[in-house]
Amino acid sequence: MQINKHYQDIEETYLFSEVAERVRKFLASGAGTSVIKMGIGDVTRPICHAAVEALKSAAEEMGTEEGFHGYGPEQGYEFLRDEIAFYYERTSGVKLFADEIFVSDGAKSDLGNILDIFGNDNVVAVTDPVYPVYVDTNVMAGRKIIKLQANFENGFLPMPSEDLEADIIYLCSPNNPTGAAYTKAQLQEWVDFANSRGSVILFDAAYESFISDEDVPRSIYQIEGARSCAIEFCSFSKTAGFTGLRCGYTIVPAGLVRDGVQLRKMWLRRQTTKFNGVSYPIQRAAQACLREQGHAEILENIAYYKENAKVMAETFEELGWPYTGGKNSPYLWVKCPYDMKSWEFFDVLLQKANVVSTPGSGFGECGEGYVRFTAFNTHENTIEAMKRIREIDSK
Ligand code: MLT
């Protein structure tokens, strides 16, 4: 028997597990008591009332003969897919058909699982720094990866170049980890590039609900030509606080065809074979978040996190620490002061301010010398964390 040898090419532990382990050891040492977590992008606001009511009534239904639901459709219940299509039309003017939408337990799983429909010889392009899932899942399959450097010079938004030869291109906008977001014109360049080479863009839109700027698209399908080259991944995790409930969705347009095959059909085949769908109560809760009352409530939570991001941005400006993000995104990507390396600054922040960040080097070589903070904590903790950071800087 043979194990998958490609696992030897990835880090032994996943980035956020490593961060959690270091924090656990720090707390066990008794050195700090009131640690404020601004590392992993996990939300703190409770799910909205509309979602709670939907969960309760779906649970009640499940306890009745008429309302019981067994296996659901692998692609997701039509009521949720219709609601997602309606949400797209309302928020970004994009028209989708329900059979192009696939409900899942979150964007992370789909971003990894989608690779089942692509050959292993495809060359993959990712930006660096990058959400580790795009890299690790491809390394596990032995694919060649090209890294496109993101830095202050290009606004952390790499663009296609004539000599780029990539079959699969991952784009995340607003970006995790840098918080930078592509404009319409920039995304148009990527779409034109992909269409001209027959490449496929895997577009991670998990942070679309944080966008404030008019010229930043919320969906890649706002861009002309995207329906023939892009798959979009989105999630209720950050939009509606579902990190613990688990629900997301992937859009594979009918017009996306490679080698004469509709990728939508391949993905459906993959999902019906390997996935049994998301539970009925969770899908009802997700639907509630996109309807009038639920949507108004989740927008309040997003405004809450954006207020945190503003407080953080003001602090970094005051300290004179170069940063990006925080405007269309819950992430702030900060240059480490005094030329410190990422893990070095991570340790200073943890030990001296009891604040947890994520070391930028964990997102790729170009992330060295940066750390990432999330705006997902409470107002009180965010203000306190910024106060402590100012204090350590003045010492
Ligand atoms: C992050 O912190 O980058 C995200 O929370 C990770 C994720 O969504 O899986």
- Please provide the DSSP assignment of 72-90 as one string: --TT--HHHHHHHHHHHHH
Tell me which of 293, 322, 339 is where a domain ends. Answer: 293
pLDDT digits (tens, 9 = 90+) for 96-120: 999 999 999 999 999 999 999 999 9
Tell how far the Cα of 243 is from the centroid of ligand 1, in angstroms.
9
Rounded-to-integer distance, Cα 234 and Cα 244, Å? 16
Name the pLDDT band for 395 (thresholds 50, 70, 90).
Answer: low
Q: Over range 55-77, report the average pLDDT.
A: 97
pLDDT digits (tens, 9 = 90+) for 193-247: 999 999 999 999 999 999 999 999 999 999 999 999 999 999 999 999 999 999 9
Q: What is the pLDDT of residue 283?
A: 98
Rounded-to-integer distance, Cα 201 and Cα 195, Å? 9
Give the structural domain span for 182: 49-293
235 burial (CB, 10 Å; 0-12 / 13-18 / 19+) is buried
Which ligand 1 atom is at minimum distance from the Cα of 42? 5
Rounded-to-integer distance, Cα 27 and Cα 40, Å? 17
Tell how far the Cα of 133 is from the centroid of ligand 1, in angstroms.
9
- pTM equals 0.96
> 254: Cβ below 6 Å to ligand 1?
no
Q: Over range 44-55, report the average pLDDT.
A: 98
Same structural domain for residues 71 and 27? no
Q: What is the pLDDT of residue 12?
A: 82
Same structural domain for residues 128 and 70? yes
Rounded-to-integer distance, Cα 237 and Cα 243, Å? 4
Q: Over range 303-324, report the average pLDDT.
A: 97
Same structural domain for residues 336 and 352? yes
Tell me which of 265, 293, 321 is where a domain ends. Answer: 293
Q: Over range 286-308, report the average pLDDT.
A: 98
CATH number for position 375: 3.90.1150.10
Name the pLDDT band for 33 (thresholds 50, 70, 90).
Answer: confident
Task: Please tell me the total count of domains within the chain.
Answer: 2
Q: What is the pLDDT of residue 393?
A: 74
Tell how far the Cα of 40 is from the centroid of ligand 1, in angstroms.
6
Q: What is the pLDDT of residue 14?
A: 87
Name the pLDDT band for 373 (thresholds 50, 70, 90).
Answer: very high
